[in-house]
Amino acid sequence: MINWGIIGVGDVCEVKSGPAFYKIEGSTLAAVMRRDKDKAADFAKRHHVAAYYTSVEDLLADTNVNAIYVATPPHLHKQYTIQALKSGRPVYVEKPMALNYTECKEMIQTADECGQKLFVAYYRRSLPYFLKVKELIDKKFIGKPVAVNVKQFRAPSSTDFEEERQTWRVKSDIAGGGYFYDLAPHSIDMLDFLLGGISDAKGYTNNLGLLYKAEDTVSASFLFENGVLGTGIWSFVTDASSNIDSVEILGTKGKIQFAIFDFTPIKLTNSEGEHLFETENPQHIQQPLIETVVKELSGKGSCPSTALSGARTSWIIDRIFENI
């Protein structure tokens, strides 16, 4: 039995991930940790978790816990992942894997030295929606992929206009950057999953809305190991009339259009016409990926989102921001 302990039971754990740990066969949620004792106790009570703690050290001292999920903001991912690995436990860490690629390498090195497995919560790799896109590509419905274009424009949220109400997601010391660091990693990881590794990337970043200190607009170009070329542009200060979430993969015999967050119907266009595909997401959207983690830890399968693939996404982001 995989007995999980969660470090940081915030909003992401309520529906997206937390319940999956006790609903999957061969898995249970044994303990949770949050610095706010009342909130930790409340989560434990509502999710029927036997133990709760207010410090990482106390959680790791619980001998009933044999695997860790790090669900904190990114600035704590490296610290808590390394602590958990050194305690002799495998780790499933939220995305992005860390603040930068250098931190990712430290986490991977520690996992290797401790003989422990490390997974990253790029859960889209196991969702039926993206598996369908991958199937269409792998079965050559668009021929050979040659180019990909990513667009994400989003209007500011109401809290962006008031500094005291701004989310940690626009504070670089906590998130690594602005909304790009929170949202774009899903896009970049999915490009890696669908089209293979990216061998190089270049980018430009700017703060055009001046609502917060972090960047709010990013453009990038990608070169894939298989020769595919790609572009991407993200902005989180555009007017709502410009809102878009789209990925278009162009091939020698057609194209595929889909979304990273909106899950609009997948559109395949080729010589046979236009085809739409719809899928249904699970109630707990991380559950399919967590199931693969449990299977790998139980010796019954493998997880498609590894420390190495997670680190590749952070490497690309560093390239875009010219940190490498």
Q: What is the mean pLDDT of residues 93-114?
A: 98
Amino acid at 169: R
Q: What is the mean pLDDT of residues 252-259?
A: 98
Helix axes 307-320, 179-195, angle to 10 degrees: 120
Domains, the chain, ranges and CATH? 2-122+285-305 (3.40.50.720), 128-280 (3.30.360.10)
Smallest CA-to-CA distance from 187 within 148, 140, 155 is with 148
Q: Which two tokens stand for residue 162?
A: 């008031």
Quick: pLDDT tens for 157-213.
Answer: 999 999 999 999 999 999 999 999 999 999 999 999 999 999 999 999 999 999 999
Q: Which two tokens stand for residue 257?
A: 């259009």
Amino acid at 206: N
Quick: pLDDT tens for 132-148.
Answer: 999 999 999 999 999 99
The model's confidence at residue 324, banded by pLDDT at 50, 70 and 90, is low
Kindly report the number of other CB atoms within 10 A of residue 47's CB atom. 18
Kindly report the number of other CB atoms within 10 A of residue 43's CB atom. 22
Quick: pLDDT tens for 260-308.
Answer: 999 999 999 999 999 999 999 999 999 999 999 999 999 999 999 999 9
Quick: pLDDT tens for 112-131.
Answer: 999 999 999 999 999 999 99
Nearby residues of 167 by Cβ (< 8 Å), 6 or more positions away: 157, 159
8 Å CB contact between 73 and 296: no
